[in-house]
């Protein structure tokens, strides 16, 4: 079960019915990711994906100082040293099996995910946030790409995600000049979905996810899949996907319930069947 699985670098819980939460739990390191954290994140995302009772995911960081500051550069990650030192293509394989796998897992989800951002979300931490469907930030949040400060690259997925969020010119400027933006400017640039006062961030994020959790699961999942795929395909291919999707949703119990609820002027009770 999702909330019953113990991790070393994460805390998983269900703060409301149908809502899962994954908290990066390395606050002393500003929730910088290690290879172990990446493996645990991929496992936790898989648990969320496989549990049909969970219908919305919050991804956040422990403490007030950071959502995630990218990869841990302290040198205290023994798995990093071993993988890089003992394999001829160790850096690439570590990236492929580490944060890149997490970003792909989030992008492949057919259920909604929300990054709840306090403090810093920079470099790989920003890529992690952008891999989610929505990004809610507190007013004190700071977002940007600091990879170039250490001569590194936006290799966790940022080179693909950043331009799609803010445009190529702005993404290049942010990365090449390693700029960091406050929450309001990040929202204007397209990096953030919505900004809330820090004291209201958790409650507002939870309310949003609770609203998602009571929607028709089949329709939510197929709509997400259709829109995400539609960004990479043409209109005709997207319309064909829609034709296939309605053959799942229209005969479902949820559609019968939704129509009945509309006629009876009552809230629907969707089950995902």
Q: What is the pLDDT of residues 132-175, one digit of tens each?
A: 999 999 999 999 999 998 888 888 999 999 999 999 999 999 99
- Euclidean distance between CA atoms 257 and 272, whole angstroms: 11
CA 78 to CA 128: how far, in whole Å? 22
The verdict on residue 4 lying in a domain is no
- Could you tell me if 207 and 157 lie in one domain? yes
Does residue 152 share a domain with residue 48?
yes
What letter would DSSP give residue 151?
T
pLDDT of residue 32: 96
pLDDT at 82: 61
- Regarding whether 225 and 204 lie in a shared domain, the answer is no
Residue 228 lies in domain: 217-264
Q: What DSSP designation does 49 have?
A: H
- Indicate the number of domains in the chain: 2
- pLDDT tens-digit map of 44-61: 999 999 999 999 999 999
CA gap 224, 209 in Å, rounded: 15
- Reply yes or no on whether the pLDDT at 117 is more than 60: yes
Q: Give the predicted TM-score (pTM) of the model.
A: 0.92
Same domain, 141 and 222: no
- To the nearest 5 percent, what fractions of the chain are helix, strand and coil? 50, 15, 30
Exposed/middle/buried for 64, CB within 10 Å: 0-12, 13-18, 19+?
A: exposed
Here the tokens at position 2 are 């999702």
Q: Are both 229 and 100 inside the same structural domain?
A: no
Among 172, 194, 213, identify where a domain stops: 213
Task: End-to-end CA distance of the chain: give it in Å, rounded.
Answer: 21
The verdict on residue 14 lying in a domain is yes
């Amino acid at each position: 079960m999702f909330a019953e699985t113990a991790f070393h670098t994460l805390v998983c819980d269900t703060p409301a019915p149908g809502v899962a939460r994954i908290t990066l739990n390395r606050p002393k390191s500003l929730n910088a990711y290690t290879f172990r954290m990446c493996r645990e994140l991929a496992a936790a995302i898989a648990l969320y994906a496989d549990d049909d009772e969970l219908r919305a995911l919050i991804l956040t960081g422990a403490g007030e100082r950071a959502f995630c500051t990218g990869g841990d550069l302290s040198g205290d990650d023994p798995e990093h040293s071993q993988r890089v030192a003992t394999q001829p293509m160790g850096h690439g394989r570590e990236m492929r099996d580490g944060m890149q796998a997490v970003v792909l897992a989030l992008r492949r989800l057919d259920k909604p995910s929300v990054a709840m951002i306090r403090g810093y979300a920079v470099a790989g931490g920003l890529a992690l946030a952008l891999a989610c469907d929505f990004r809610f930030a507190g007013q004190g949040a700071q977002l940007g790409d600091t990879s170039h400060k250490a001569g590194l690259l936006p290799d966790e997925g940022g080179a693909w995600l950043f331009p799609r969020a803010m445009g190529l010119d702005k993404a290049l400027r942010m990365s090449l000049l390693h700029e960091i933006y406050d929450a309001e400017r990040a929202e204007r640039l397209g990096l953030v979905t919505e900004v809330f006062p820090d004291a209201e961030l958790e409650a507002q994020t939870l309310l949003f996810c609770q609203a998602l959790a009571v929607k028709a699961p089949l329709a939510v999942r197929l709509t997400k899949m259709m829109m995400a795929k539609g960004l990479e395909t043409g209109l005709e291919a997207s319309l064909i996907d829609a034709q296939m999707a309605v053959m799942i949703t229209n005969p479902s119990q949820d559609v019968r319930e939704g129509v009945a609820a509309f006629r009876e002027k009552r809230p629907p009770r969707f089950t995902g069947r």
